[in-house]
Amino acid sequence: MSLLDPLLIAELALLGLGTGFLAGLLGIGGGMLMVPFITIILSGRGVQADLAVKMAIATSMATIIFTSVSSVRAHHKRGAVRWDIVRRLAPGIVVGSLIGSLGVFALLKGSYLAVFFGLFVGFSATQMFLDRKPKPTRQMPGTGGQLAAGGVIGFLSGLVGAGGGFVSVPFMTWCNVAIHNAVATSAALGFPIAVANVAGYIVSGQGVQELPAGSFGYIWLPALLVIALASVVMAPLGARAAHALPVARLKRVFASILYVLAAYMLWKGLFAGR
């Protein structure tokens, strides 16, 4: 496939604009939207299903490196990031991410990852649809507990190509961290999650056969560059729109869309290529 194909660039730019806007509007990472659509784009260009899923997850994660930086700057200016929590969770996140992306991700078939992704997105969509806010019942655990929690967050993020917000935000609010601090801190955690996982995807993808042109390990560079540029431009507009639109209702509409994408990934994992 040509890296300069105008149709390909247009598809990736639209995806980046959409994910960037929704990230700013609803406070969600773009992975749940990006992974199914990058899988569709790659599959439509002849990449076999198993490899397309893996590359979509890895490329989605790589975009978080860029989008998390601008998000963290905005949250930090408001003093909302709990850097003390970041310092305790980050080491576990790095270890968990590397175990996931270097080991388990490389060993698992893409079809298994697609099924896991579909179930994860279905669960996340249900949480969003119901707009559940966990009751704060306790404080953050000690250093050891936070290292372990970070490991789980990093590991799960690496398997689904997401920044961890759907795990870390409920965990922090459950531990009595104010919701605005939890969201801001989750944004800061997105950077070490992305860097560690991307390093793993690059190393574990070396020597893989039939990678499309423009690949760096499992990362598909054309998608990374176009989506990252477009999403960084649109995220501030989405954040501004959040103050003028009925976000609670929009979350339910978006959750319905996520159910469709989850169903597609489940179908891809269970039946595609058979």
- 86, part of any domain: yes
- 229, part of any domain: yes
pLDDT tens digits along 62-83: 988 887 777 777 778 778 889 9
3-class SS of residue 5: coil
- 184, part of any domain: yes
- 194, part of any domain: yes
Tokens read off for 127: 């949480």
- 112, part of any domain: yes
Pick from 9-23, 66-80, 95-109 the range whose average pLDDT is largest.
9-23
Contacts of 82 (CB under 8 A, 6+ apart): 177, 181, 184, 185
Q: How many domains does the chain have?
A: 1
- 1, part of any domain: no
Q: What is the mean pLDDT of the chain?
A: 82
pLDDT tens digits along 182-228: 878 888 888 888 899 899 999 988 988 888 888 999 999 999 999 99
The pTM for the full model equals: 0.81
Spatial distance between the Cα atoms of 217 and 52, rounded to a whole number of angstroms: 13
- 33, part of any domain: yes
- Give the single-character DSSP code of 34: H
Range of the domain at 58: 6-270
